[in-house]
Amino acid sequence: MLPFWLSIGFLSAVQGVLVGLPRAPVEIPLLTRVGGRWWALVLPLSIVVVIGAIALDSASAQFLTWLR
């Protein structure tokens, strides 16, 4: 296993190179087809669903803890 400072340095250098490389954006047909403002609701609604499931049944909280 690499030392922490070396792995962080390597990952930072890779990130810097990837950010610095200019190129045209990649158009993925599937993502352009399903793109829209409604996708912004996925994360908040998933949080609401999980909190609701935990509130209704404590076994779901135990399952989610086990799933982690």
Please count the other Cβ atoms lying within 10 Å of the Cβ belonging to residue 50.
Answer: 13
Number of residues that this document lists for the chain: 68
CB-hemisphere CA count at 13 Å for 17?
Answer: 6
- For residue 19, give the H/E element and its range: helix 4-20
Q: What pLDDT is attached to residue 29? A: 81
Whole-number Å distance between alpha carbons of 50 and 65:
12
Dihedral sign from CA coordinates of 15, 20, 21, 26? positive
Residue 13 pLDDT level (bands cut at 50, 70, 90): very high
pLDDT tens-digit readout, 20-57: 988 887 888 877 777 778 888 999 999 999 999 889 98
